[in-house]
Copies of this chain bind each other. A is one copy, B any other.
């Protein structure tokens, strides 16, 4: 996976009349503009594509930890992450909402995690439609073991950036998230659920 077969590749004489384009002086100019190139579009400079590819790559780098090692998939990991960060047990709906994952996906993750006895659910007396979810001891143990590994991976991935750069990245992501209404801060999330 993603080993990037750097090797080989056609040593075949190719024409390549050299797309006269590109190289219009921007080595790195502001996106959108850089991506355009005389009516064409350079995927490698197109931010949506770059985000997709980067996210996929980073995910796959992390999955080695939670998937191969602990048999968790992304939705399951999100459930644990949410339960682990919050102190109070919370509903599946809440997890779906704040991780922006479809409720059916969360539902299935919850089912799996319950079967594996990583989490348990208790009826909510006040509203018998929903259940409060919380990690079991076993789940917590896994969580505690997993977190440092994931953070280490994140560190590795970001190790190519200086501290100020990492900070800048966080700020930029934050801005875009905000403008897309993705800001689902812990505080807001609580406000939504806290009584």
User: Which residue of chain B is the closest to A175 with respect to CB atoms?
Assistant: B160
Q: In the bound complex, how far is the Cα of B192 from the Cα of A12, in angstroms?
A: 10
State whether the Cβ of A136 lies closer than 8 Å to any Cβ in chain B: no
For residue A57, which residues in chain B have a CB less than 8 angstroms away from its CB?
A: 100, 180, 182
A39 CB to nearest B CB, Å:
7
For residue A25, which residues in chain B have a CB less than 8 angstroms away from its CB?
A: none
For window 143-173 of chain A, which residues contact chain B by CB distance below 8 Å? 144, 147, 150-151, 153-155, 157-161, 163, 165-173
State whether the Cβ of A58 lies closer than 8 Å to any Cβ in chain B: yes
Q: Is the CB of A158 within 8 A of B47?
A: yes
Q: How many residues of A contact B (CB 8 A)?
A: 110
State whether the Cβ of A59 lies closer than 8 Å to any Cβ in chain B: yes
Which of B51, B52, B184 contacts A44, CB < 8 Å? B184
Which of B12, B34, B51, B175 contacts A187, CB < 8 Å? B12
State whether the Cβ of A141 lies closer than 8 Å to any Cβ in chain B: no
Mark contacts of A34-54 with chain B using CB atoms, 8 A cut-off: 1 yes-contact digit, 0 otherwise: 111101111111111111111
| 30 intermolecular pairs with C-beta atoms under 8 Å apart | A2-B171, A4-B175, A5-B183, A7-B187, A8-B185, A8-B188, A9-B193, A12-B126, A16-B195, A18-B190, A30-B170, A31-B166, A31-B169, A32-B155, A36-B147, A40-B84, A40-B85, A41-B81, A43-B78, A43-B82, A47-B154, A47-B170, A48-B157, A51-B55, A54-B180, A61-B180, A157-B180, A160-B179, A161-B176, A165-B172
